A and B are shown apart, each in its own frame.
Chain A
Amino acid sequence: MVKQISQEELQKIVKSVPMLSASASQLLQITANADHDLMDVIKLVRNDANLTARVLKIVNSAAFGLINNITSIDRAISYLGERIIVSIALGDCAGKLFEKELSGYESAGGDLWTHDLRTAIASREVVTQSGAEISPELAFTAGLLHDIGKALISDYLQGTVSEAVELISTEEGFDYLDAEEKFVGFDHTRAGYELAKAWQLPEELAEVIRHHHEPANAKEEYRALVYAVHLGDNIAMMGGFGTGSDSMRYKLDQQYTDYIKIGPKTLATIMLNVDIEFEKLASSLTSSGEED
């Protein structure tokens, strides 16, 4: 019998997760601010010697194939772009959580980070290809963080996979959120939302974490962003990069068409771009790690 997680236990789990580094936390705040520019990111990174060193190492890694080394942090950040800086900062301070083996979903270590990166890229592509009035960089960051709750509840879901899959295939309308709630008392979006509060994430990111499977429930002012990540998440799963047993076992909210206009051809372009961008991004982020 699987044990339900009480509210107190959830708080304990959340408290056991390391806090974000000051730089990562501030970067997320900056990204969420619609009026920010790259200079704000540059100023922040300059004040963090470790992050500066990491960024310089990555920009000069083989993945980017630059002929001349970049030695100035300003140029490195302009070249890489804000989203890569956010990926580096989050990967550095919450890497353990993102790399965790999700045994409760029969998903290997590293799968969650791959899924999150692909969702991030796909969410950004959804925004740019559809021309929706959403910040593409914010969609990327929100995509990176959307499934963080899975890392919190996965251990408690061990042994539930067969029954979850069976329920979804036999009970009308039952999806993986229902399965999580049935087995441990709440789903990964609620667990993730608790962590978002503990990490004091900007409200728009917390809303994405809480509502990315049911965007209609998000606050109106953030709903378009939540729909973008909803689609990005589905696109990552369709591309074959979910997190094990729950992949493809969620509902598409067809009301996305009120916020985001994409047809079959644009969707195909987005899927292709996600594969191309992911190869570049993943090799750049790991190639620097290997030298450590």
Chain B
Amino acid sequence: MGQIILGVGDYGASNTPGDDVKTFALGSCVSVIFLDPKTRTIGMAHIALPDSSINKAKSAEKPGYFADTAIPALLAQMTKFGCDKRGKGMVVKLCGGANVMDTNDTFQIGKRNALAIKKILWSYGMGAIAEDLGKNYSRTVVISVSAGQITLSSPGKPNWLL
């Protein structure tokens, strides 16, 4: 019974009933969540930027930081729990990717993150069945491994499920 807390650029997985997998205050960052019904494993990556080409050293040290390196890293991590290495049979959900108000194209990092993630998922033949993306507020994510339930929260709003 523990908590796995993922910071910016972290990724992790658990199949321990009673564990919670958490990440705090996604702004323009996007959380990719994999739920594997077969092994009852939950995986999540807290992705900050779309493309690792801007800093290869950083992506080697922290692959979860960039969309293109986070998804392979998370899938590899989940194979340790007996999951399929290409994500076969997994349920995918996405959340985060907020933008500030009156944003322009340059500042739409949230949108670019979500697009990059979808493109990479596509290359694995995966697609999200649920998403809560965009808008102008931060989101905190708590996933219960036992129930596979994803709860989102943001100050001033009642909690909601993804």
Q: Which A residues lie at the B interface, using CB under 8 A?
A: 105-107, 161-162, 164-166, 168, 175, 234, 237-242, 244-245, 247-254, 262-265, 267-269, 271-272, 275-276
Contacts and interface: CB of A to CB of B under 8 A. Distances in A.
Given A175-B101, A251-B102, A164 B156 contact: yes
Contacts of B26: 240
Contacts of A245: 155-156
Nearest to B55: A272
Interface of B: 8-9, 24-29, 48-51, 54-55, 58, 65, 98-107, 109-110, 112, 136-138, 154-157
B105 A238 contact: no
A117 to B, nearest CB: 15
Given A238-B27, A239-B28, A244 B100 contact: no
B109 A248 contact: no
Closest 6 CB pairs of A and B: A165-B156, A245-B155, A238-B28, A161-B156, A106-B155, A251-B102
A264 B112 contact: yes
B148 to A, nearest CB: 24
What does DSSP make chain A's interface, helix, strand, loop or mixed? helix
> Which of A241, A263, A275 has the largest count of B CB atoms less than 10 A from its CB?
A275
Contact of B25 (A161, A241, A253, A263): A241
B121 to A, nearest CB: 20
26 contacts: A164-B156, A238-B27, A238-B99, A240-B8, A242-B25, A242-B27, A242-B138, A245-B155, A245-B156, A247-B25, A248-B27, A248-B98, A248-B99, A249-B101, A249-B136, A251-B101, A252-B102, A263-B106, A264-B105, A264-B109, A268-B49, A272-B54, A275-B8, A275-B9, A275-B48, A276-B58
Nearest to B103: A252
A267 B138 contact: no
Given A248-B137, A249-B136, A268-B54, 5 more contacts: A250-B101, A263-B106, A264-B109, A264-B112, A265-B54
B104 A252 contact: yes
A165 B51 CA distance: 32
Given A240-B8, A272-B55, A247 B138 contact: yes
A276 B106 CA distance: 21
Contact of A237 (B24, B27, B154): B27
A244 B101 contact: no
A244 B100 CA distance: 14
Given A238-B100, A262-B106, A272 B48 contact: yes
A252 B109 CA distance: 13
A248 B27 CA distance: 8
Contacts of A175: 101
Contacts of A276: 58
Contacts of B28: 238-239
Contacts of B50: 268
A280 B7 CA distance: 16
A240 B157 CA distance: 17
Contacts of A161: 155-156
A165 B100 contact: no
Nearest to A256: B104
